[in-house]
Amino acid sequence: MKLKNNTILITGGTSGFGLEFAKRLLELGNTVIVTGRDPIKLASAKKNLAGLHIFQSDVSNPEEIANLYKTVIAQFPKLNVLINNAGQMRKISLHDSSIGLLDITREIETNLMGPIRMVQAFIPHLKQIPSAAILNVTSGLALVPFPISPIYGATKSGLRSYTKSLRVQLKNTRIKVFELIAPAAKTPLNDEFRNLDGYNVKQMNPVELVDIAFNGMEKDKYEIYPGVARVLYFMSRIAPGFMLRTLSKAGSKEMAG
């Protein structure tokens, strides 16, 4: 696909990958719209990136998605690319009985139900556009569980499975379906993991990640594995038990109960 002259909606575009995507896509001459929950982060992104359009919208809330769809399509009828990037990752001990039944699934609502609902809302519009694309941001942790983040891994495996089905179901449309299997990177999402016992992972710079994502999208590579994600892909097939044992070392004390 071409990365110029598109109208692109990025969920969670106020920090990390989403902000870097927005910056670079604006530089390439695209119209870029980002969402997020925090109005201060949205205002700061708009101030720093000339031409950026912002909408406050929580991807875990179906009503907010429906409103976002109506407002964005009314203002940007040429919208042709959806990047499902918003995500959260928590360190969770399953021994912790203070975590409530609603709270335990919070990441599922944002990371899995959010993109599924966004796609459901935007597909009828995207199908009418001559050249359209959806990029779902999954993770190397879709390939191998990271036991200290048990819900996160489940959401990313779920999103990966859904993305494969989506690609098959859209094969007779003009919508291209991409998956970015992102490796650990230097973004705020990783803040609470940096000092975790047994966590010894090289973190990619988001600039490099976006370079690789763009290269893959321009070549119509539908599954893009930057850096260590490629290694995880092969290792998860050759030695899944070894990979699980390796990733189980992070936070092993906190998970001991």
Ligand X SMILES: NC(=O)c1ccc[n+]([C@@H]2O[C@H](COP(=O)([O-])OP(=O)(O)OC[C@H]3O[C@@H](n4cnc5c(N)ncnc54)[C@H](OP(=O)(O)O)[C@@H]3O)[C@@H](O)[C@H]2O)c1
Residues with catalytic function: 152
Binding flags for ligand X, 94-113, as an x/- string (CB under 6 A): ----------------x---
Using the rule CB under 6 A, which residue among 80, 139, 157, 163 binds ligand X? 139
Per-residue CA distances from 136 to 63, 77, 179 (Å): 21, 21, 5
**Closest residue to ligand X, Cβ-based?**
16
Specify the 3-state DSSP secondary structure of 87. coil
Helix (H) / strand (E) containing 22: helix 16-27
CA 152 to CA 146: how far, in whole Å?
A: 8
In whole angstroms, how close is the CB of 200 to ligand X at the nearest point? 14
Does residue 182 touch ligand X according to CB under 6 A? yes
Q: 199-224: string of b/e by CB count within 10 Å (b at 16+)? A: bebeebebeebbebbbebbeeeebbb
CB of 38 to ligand X, least distance (A): 3
Residue 118, interface with ligand X (CB under 6 A)? Answer: no
Minimum CB distance to ligand X smaller for 170 or for 229: 229
Chosen residue from 187, 210, 226, 250 binding ligand X by CB under 6 A: 187
Which CB, 129 or 185, lies closer to ligand X? 185
Separation in Å, CA 206 to CA 37, 141, 239, 255: 21, 17, 28, 29
Residue among 129 and 182 whose Cβ is closer to ligand X:
182
Spatial separation of the C-alpha atoms in residues 207 and 205, rounded to whole Å: 5
For residue 158, state whether it binds ligand X (rule: CB under 6 A). Answer: no
Which residues in 1-30 contact ligand X (CB under 6 A)? 11-18
Residues from 22 through 81 that contact ligand X (CB under 6 A): 35-38, 41, 58-60
Rounded distance between C-alpha atoms, residue 199 and residue 168, angstroms: 37
Closer to ligand X by CB, 30 or 149: give it.
Answer: 149
Structure letter (DSSP) for residue 185: B
Binds ligand X by CB under 6 A, chosen from 54, 189, 217, 243:
189
Q: Does 136 bind ligand X (CB under 6 A)?
A: no
Angle CA 35–86–119, to nearest 5: 85
Q: How far is CA 64 from CA 36, 46, 118, 249, in A?
A: 11, 20, 10, 39
Under the binding rule (CB under 6 A), the answer on residue 87 touching ligand X is yes
Write out the residues near ligand X by the rule CB under 6 A: 11-18, 35-38, 41, 58-60, 85-89, 110, 137, 139, 182, 184-185, 187-190
